[in-house]
């Protein structure tokens, strides 16, 4: 099911035309897109890539558009696909806003392909608040998502906070999903490892949500977004380790430290180490890579708290 030994150089090229939404299903974002005035755009002053707020006919921001042609180098040219994949995998657990891949006709730019995401209204930047105000459940649900997609850029600057409820909403996932065969697997970065909430045990609800994750379904969603098999494999590994650790009652902090490099980040993370060990066994000893990885991950999960 995973053609993971293919060369990392065999990347997807070109851009895929998104499939039309079936007539039987029209999401809220589809409806919003139909009412947009694409000529009315406001460029965000934040971020290193192009980010535009598209307004409706009443000049209210409704959609965040990130053109493929204006992505920064951290996305590997697949940021728009990664934004969509993060929404698909999250499936409401962390609250990633509805996201699609679409074409938008922009003034002076013509037809542009990119990710479109529902604008988070009544919100403010979470980085303007101390992390002590963040709810434990919010950090846990966002952390679970970050581990699954191996987020390389999670910090409070890409979290929104609802002005009324204080609930956190995760955004900006274009720097996630590093390929297993890329050096970027070593760039995973979780700011929440510094938060005391990460050391609080998971609630029964979050533990059940982790247990319910269907890894094969995740693989199908990643492929649907147009991402390559190296990314399918890295997500399989991170989610497998997440599920095994959760069964052993490890905290978000315990699990996160297995994914992110320690200290000066020169040495491989625990995840990288068992990947290399399983891969070597598969190549040199003709062992089954997946069985070897699961065995190594199980042993890692059963160790005492990191």
| pLDDT tens per residue across span 23-34 | 444 566 776 666
> In the prediction, which pLDDT does 162 show?
97
Main-chain dihedrals φ then ψ at residue 212, nearest 5 degrees? -80, -10
> In the prediction, which pLDDT does 305 show?
53
Mean pLDDT in the chain?
Answer: 88
**Segments in the chain below pLDDT 70:** 1-28, 31-40, 47-48, 304-306
Contacts of 54 (CB under 8 A, 6+ apart): 36, 37, 38, 40, 41, 61, 62, 63, 64, 65, 104, 116
Q: Concatenate the DSSP letters of all residues of the chain into one string.
A: ---TTS-TT----S-PPPPPPPTT---HHHHHHHTEEEEEEEE-SSSSS--EEEEETTS-EEEEEEEGGG--GGGTT-HHHHHHHHHHHHTTSS-PPPEEEEEEEETTTEEEEEEEEE---SEEEGGGS-GGGS-HHHHHHHHHHHHHHT-S-BSGGGEEEETTT--EEE---TT----TTSGGGGG--BGGGGSGGGGSPPPHHHHHHHHT--HHHHHHHHHHTT--HHHHHHHHHHHHHHHHHHHTT--HHHHHHHHSPPTTS-SPPHHHHHHHHHHHHHHHS---HHHHHHHHHHHHHTSPP-
Task: Please list, residue by residue across 143-180, b when 16 or more beta carbons sit within 10 angstroms of its beta carbon and e when fewer do.
Answer: bbbbbbbbbbbbebebbbbbeeeeebbbbbbbbbbbbb
> In the prediction, which pLDDT does 37 show?
55
Tokens at 49, concatenated: 């890539």
> In the prediction, which pLDDT does 109 show?
81
Tokens at 237, concatenated: 């590994």
| pLDDT tens per residue across span 83-131 | 999 999 999 999 999 999 998 888 778 889 999 999 999 999 999 999 9
> In the prediction, which pLDDT does 36 show?
63
* Alpha carbons 216 and 303: distance in angstroms, whole number: 27
* Alpha carbons 215 and 233: distance in angstroms, whole number: 10
> In the prediction, which pLDDT does 59 show?
75
Query: Residue for token digits 């990392």?
Result: 8
> In the prediction, which pLDDT does 39 show?
52
> In the prediction, which pLDDT does 8 show?
33
* Alpha carbons 68 and 227: distance in angstroms, whole number: 14
Q: Count the Cβ atoms, other than its own, within 10 Å of residue 61.
A: 17
* Alpha carbons 252 and 154: distance in angstroms, whole number: 14
> In the prediction, which pLDDT does 60 show?
78
Count of alpha carbons within 13 Å of 116, Cβ hemisphere only? Answer: 25
Tell which residue, 210, 77, 53, has the closest CA to residue 144.
210
């Amino acid at each position: 099911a995973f053609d993971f030994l293919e060369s990392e150089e065999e990347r997807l090229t070109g851009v895929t035309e998104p499939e039309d939404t079936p007539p039987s299903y029209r999401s809220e974002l589809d409806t919003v897109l139909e009412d947009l005035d694409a000529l009315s755009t406001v460029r965000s002053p934040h971020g290193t890539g192009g980010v535009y707020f598209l307004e409706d006919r009443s000049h209210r921001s409704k959609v965040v558009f990130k053109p493929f042609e204006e992505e920064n180098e951290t996305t590997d040219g697949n940021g728009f696909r990664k934004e969509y994949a993060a929404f698909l995998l999250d499936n409401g657990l962390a609250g990633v806003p509805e996201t699609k891949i679409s074409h938008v006709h922009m003034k002076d730019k013509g037809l542009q392909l990119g990710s479109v995401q529902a604008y988070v209204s009544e919100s403010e930047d979470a980085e303007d608040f101390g992390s002590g105000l963040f709810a434990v459940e919010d950090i846990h649900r966002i952390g679970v998502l970050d581990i699954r997609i191996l987020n390389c850029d999670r910090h409070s600057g890409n979290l929104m906070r609802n002005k009324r409820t204080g609930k956190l909403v995760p955004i900006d996932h274009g720097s996630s999903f590093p390929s297993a065969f890329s050096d970027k697997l070593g760039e995973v970065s979780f700011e929440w490892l510094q938060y005391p909430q990460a050391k609080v045990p998971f609630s029964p609800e979050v533990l059940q949500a982790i247990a319910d994750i269907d890894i094969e379904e995740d693989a199908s969603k990643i492929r649907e977004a147009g991402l390559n098999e190296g990314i399918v494999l890295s997500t399989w590994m991170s989610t497998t380790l997440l599920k095994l650790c959760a069964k052993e009652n490890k905290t978000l902090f315990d699990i996160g430290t297995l994914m992110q490099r320690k200290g000066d980040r020169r040495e491989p993370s625990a995840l990288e180490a068992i990947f290399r060990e399983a891969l070597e066994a598969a190549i040199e000893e003709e062992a089954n890579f997946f069985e070897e990885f699961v065995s190594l991950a199980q042993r890692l999960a059963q160790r005492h708290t990191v």
